Each structure stands twice: as C-alpha cells, then as structure tokens.
C-alpha cells in the first residue's frame, strides 16, 4: 500500500486531518522551487507533533474535520494552494491538488460545520463614511 493510500484509508475512518496552526486560521505552509504553495496535513496527531520542529516549533497541533475541510479546500483551490500529505523531514512532499482532495473528501463530510458569513457579505452593515462613495439606491 502506498503512503497516499494509507493516508486516505486512515482519514476516511477518522474523518479528520491534522495541521500545524501558528494562530487562529493561520496554518503552516510549504513552498516549492517553482513558487507553488502547499498546506501540510497529517493523518494523526502524533505525526503532526513530530513535524512541529524548527520553523514550526511554536505551532499548535490541531485537527480539522471533513465538514470544515470541504469548505476550506474550496478556498484553497481558489487561492491556488494545494495539499502536502505528511511531508517528510527531508523536504519531500506528496502533493494533491486541493480541488481533487475536496472531491475525495466531500462525500465523506457531514454538515456539522457552518461557515460564519464574511462581514463584507452582511447587508446594510457597510459604513460608507465621508469622502468614500455614495450608496446606490
């Protein structure tokens, strides 16, 4: 069984992945020589803890369920950020396009996570302020 198959098998049972979080909503990232960005994810808390060294030593190990992950992967795909599956200490990664990973995760997700609306999307809450622009009516 390949590393990817093993990873997918484990997370399909637990319905979660593990990440390293610098602060709320800010996760560890990797970049390759071509400028492509990746969010590293692990199948277990133990593996994520082992990776929290050097540049990531102050990062908190956190989990994310599939319900939230499906929403987040859509955002990552839009931002052209992919997923690095259990990156190795030597810098080797197994990359999965975030859009492809979302297609795999989505059927296994439930609807337990509801994303908070962005403040920009709330009707009537925009302060146009003086000298900005006139509100269309």
Local mean pLDDT, 10-residue blocks, the chain (137 residues): 84 95 92 93 95 93 95 94 86 88 91 64 51 50
Cβ neighbourhood burial of 92 (10 Å; 0-12, 13-18, 19+): exposed
Query: Strand 16-23 to strand 60-65: parallel, antiparallel, or no bridges (unpaired)?
Result: antiparallel
Alpha carbon of 38 to those of 33, 82, 99, 117: distances in Å?
12, 5, 13, 25
- Decide if 119 is inside a domain: no
Q: Is residue 91 part of a domain?
A: yes
Residue 116 confidence (pLDDT):
63
Q: Please give the C-alpha separations between residue 78 and each of 46, 53, 119, 130, in angstroms, as whole numbers.
A: 30, 29, 20, 34
Q: Decide if 65 is inside a domain.
A: yes
**Looking at the domain assignment, is residue 46 inside a domain?**
yes
Does any domain span residue 130? no
Radius of gyration of the chain (CA): 18
Question: pLDDT value at position 135?
Answer: 47
Q: How many domains does the chain have?
A: 1
Residue 117 included in any domain: no
**Residue whose tokens read 């509100």:** 135
Domain assignment of residue 115, yes or no: no
47 part of a folded domain: yes
Q: Looking at residue 4, what is its pLDDT?
A: 83
Could you tell me the strand order of the sheet in which 26-27 lies?
A: 26-27, 16-23, 60-65
The predicted structure's pLDDT at residue 117: 57
Domain containing 19 equals 3-110
Question: So what's the pLDDT on residue 131?
Answer: 53
- The position carrying tokens 């199948």 is 43
Q: What is the CATH number of the domain that holds 41?
A: 3.40.1350.90
pTM: 0.78
Model pLDDT, residue 115 = 66
């Amino acid at each position: 069984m390949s590393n990817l198959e093993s990873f997918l098998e484990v997370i399909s049972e637990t319905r979660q992945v593990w990440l390293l979080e610098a602060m709320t909503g800010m996760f560890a990232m990797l970049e390759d020589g071509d400028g492509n960005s990746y969010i590293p994810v692990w199948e277990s808390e133990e593996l994520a803890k082992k990776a929290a060294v050097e540049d990531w030593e102050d990062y908190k190990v956190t989990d994310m369920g599939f319900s939230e992950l499906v929403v987040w992967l859509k955002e990552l795909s839009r931002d052209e950020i992919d997923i690095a599956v259990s990156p190795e200490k030597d810098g080797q990664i197994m990359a999965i396009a975030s859009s492809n990973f979302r297609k795999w995760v989505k059927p296994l997700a439930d609807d337990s996570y509801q994303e908070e609306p962005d403040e920009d999307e709330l009707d009537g809450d925009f302060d146009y302020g003086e000298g900005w622009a006139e509100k269309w009516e």
